[in-house]
Structure 1
């Protein structure tokens, strides 16, 4: 395994890109990564990871995370070559859900996925990109079985992931699980302490990452011509790049008062940080990073929205909690989509089967993490005024 020794040798990251690529090739039997554009971001990330404060088990887990994206990249590149006709197919008017984390993006995404007019990228296909097989074949698929085993182990270690994010191997997953094939992703600084990578990432034009993401969608949907339903909260940060690649996208942005959402984000991410850092997880540090990042992301999104009036439909978290189907009807009406009786019935059945858990109603405050409510209000003053929270 290169940098992981069974005898207890510490995992190292700096300078190991070639070793990781060789290991990914060994696991897949593939060697074509589809270019070298990922080298720079991966090197910057690796150079930060040795100082990320991992526990011994967390370092191994982080390494496996990186290998997972490298093997997915290899699998996807191979798939692109095997599906030349699919790679030419345009992605027309995808419906994209974005917004600050903990503002209902997951629930809205899952609810909309009940409409059979949409296709989405299921969790297991994000880990092993390939043309989506018939659903009856999934249980017997080795890639499905492996993805399920890995996800089950993660949920066993951090059950909050299931409670808060509704993760399941056979349901639609957010775009954040495909975008890291380019190693330009908010996933890394949100889960790891990588300040140099974080600064570098924020200064990048992410268009190439979304172009590769679009190719992954073409591969997964090679035999399916339905409209794409996508979701990624941090598309708010990269909205211009999203529109560069999907210029006719129908975008839904969910909103929630940052006074509630930011502490809730930290509670969610704390579970991931504890998986990698154990009791050394710096929860106040997580808060500081997320508070600042999301202020930047929401400000960027508002500037792009102002330049593209009507392309983004705003949904208030409180309105969605009170009347989910009513919000869906408003979204469909805004974009000229048809809500069939079949789709509405499936959505109502999903809502009945997935009631909002009381634990997710728990309220956290900035003070719980050593920060100030007044400081948060000041940082988000423009956003809170624009969307009626102040």
Structure 2
């Protein structure tokens, strides 16, 4: 039997320090979120293997934090550089954020945080050296192990160790992010997360961007994180000149797909037989309704700051959407880059031929309740009209 999580913080911190060979976790408010999560983990319904996996998840983030803080101290010149006009892709999960992110990343004017560098932030070495880098090797082994347990991450998220990854994986070093309540049944932490300011997490993210980009400071940053819709105000506080792209999809399609996407994580930590799908659905339905409401409030107060992309349009003509994004933000789309993007699209066709594979009823939930909760959003972005079709 795995030891209890309650009261285990000192031991966790000591083990992370032993693994990293470092002792400075840096400043900030990261400890409170970790303490709150640990206080609920004994009630989270972990399987024996899941409890071990959850502990390793926490340790991995603590080790990453230790090593990242050491990187900050070793690269003072990089840490003083500004982050200028980063492009940030966000939007409700399952609305094309991953495909758009990877498509834009084809353009060499952008730099992003590759999967392995989210786990081990450091000045990005030349790509030819990655295969021999111990951190790359470790990250690849961890991702391979995850794929073995939840192979759907390849189809549903396109995860690969050497391609750009969403910044949620960096924000998780601060233990104040949607990463925790989306994977674990910790309702008290969830309520705290939704009610507290997370600007400090985005300041940490900005420093990590400076560290990773230390050898290439002039390229524009490209980030992607669906949960940024929940924190647009904090993003504009930290990145006041950010170029924000928000993708949209009918929640009647997106929310059931989100719950299906989370199957793998909940299977890993709880076991298939213990997954409470109606509870997960209720949590995700409310989380993304709140996120959309918060994003709309920020957009109404800052007109023109966010470029909206409809998933239906993106599916039909990805390059037309890309051109509109570049035009909106005054970016140059060079012909050779446009050709390279089309080549990427040809090599990565959509695997699903349908717009919707799951319904709320597949997870013990209600389509009518989902319609009611998202009525304002669906009306604002043109999805309610489809109900009468």
Give the structure-2-normalised TM-score.
Answer: 0.97
Q: 1:358 aligns with which of 352, 359, 364?
A: 352
Counterpart CA distance in 2 for 1:346 and 1:23 is 45
**Offset, 1:35:** 2.4
| Aligned match of 1:312 | 306
**Offset, 1:34:** 0.5
1:274 is the counterpart of 2:267 = yes
CA RMSD of aligned residues (A): 1.0
Count of aligned pairs between the two proteins: 382
Whether the 8 Å CA contact 2:28–2:200 is kept in 1: the answer is: no
Change in CA separation of 1:342 and 1:307 when aligned onto 2, cut-off 3 Å: same
Pairs within 5 Å for 1:64-213: 64-213=56-205
Change in CA separation of 1:239 and 1:36 when aligned onto 2, cut-off 3 Å: closer
Counterpart CA distance in 1 for 2:277 and 2:15 is 33
Whether the 8 Å CA contact 2:233–2:298 is kept in 1: the answer is: yes
Change in CA separation of 1:154 and 1:361 when aligned onto 2, cut-off 3 Å: farther
| Aligned match of 1:258 | 251
Q: SS of the counterpart of 1:168?
A: coil
Pairs within 5 Å for 1:32-43: 32-35=24-27, 37-43=29-35
| Aligned match of 2:338 | 344
Q: Which deviates further from its counterpart, 34-43 or 51-60?
A: 34-43
Counterpart CA distance in 2 for 1:360 and 1:23 is 47
Counterpart CA distance in 1 for 2:351 and 2:32 is 42
Change in CA separation of 1:50 and 1:314 when aligned onto 2, cut-off 3 Å: same
1:298 is the counterpart of 2:292 = yes
Q: 2:220 aligns with which of 209, 227, 238?
A: 227
Q: 1:238 aligns with which of 216, 219, 231?
A: 231
| Aligned match of 1:6 | none
Encode CA deviations 1:236-266: one digit per residue, 9 max, x unaligned. Answer: 0011001110000000000000000000000
**Offset, 1:271:** 1.6
Counterpart CA distance in 2 for 1:366 and 1:377 is 10
Counterpart CA distance in 1 for 2:123 and 2:354 is 35
| Aligned match of 1:5 | none
**Offset, 1:105:** 0.3
Q: SS of the counterpart of 2:76?
A: coil
Counterpart CA distance in 2 for 1:41 and 1:58 is 20
Counterpart CA distance in 1 for 2:58 and 2:335 is 43
**Offset, 1:37:** 2.2
Q: Which deviates further from its counterpart, 14-23 or 240-249?
A: 14-23
Encode CA deviations 1:128-166: one digit per residue, 9 max, x unaligned. Answer: 110000000000000000000000010111001111000
**Offset, 1:366:** 0.8
Counterpart CA distance in 2 for 1:42 and 1:315 is 35
**Offset, 1:17:** 1.2
Counterpart CA distance in 2 for 1:66 and 1:47 is 13
Structure 1 unaligned residues grouped into runs of 5+: 1-8
Whether the 8 Å CA contact 1:164–1:360 is kept in 2: the answer is: no
| Aligned match of 2:387 | none
Change in CA separation of 1:11 and 1:344 when aligned onto 2, cut-off 3 Å: farther
Encode CA deviations 1:319-348: one digit per residue, 9 max, x unaligned. Answer: 000000000000000000000112111111
| Aligned match of 1:4 | none
Give the structure-1-normalised TM-score.
Answer: 0.97
Encode CA deviations 1:61-112: one digit per residue, 9 max, x unaligned. Answer: 0111111110110011000000000001100000000000000000000000
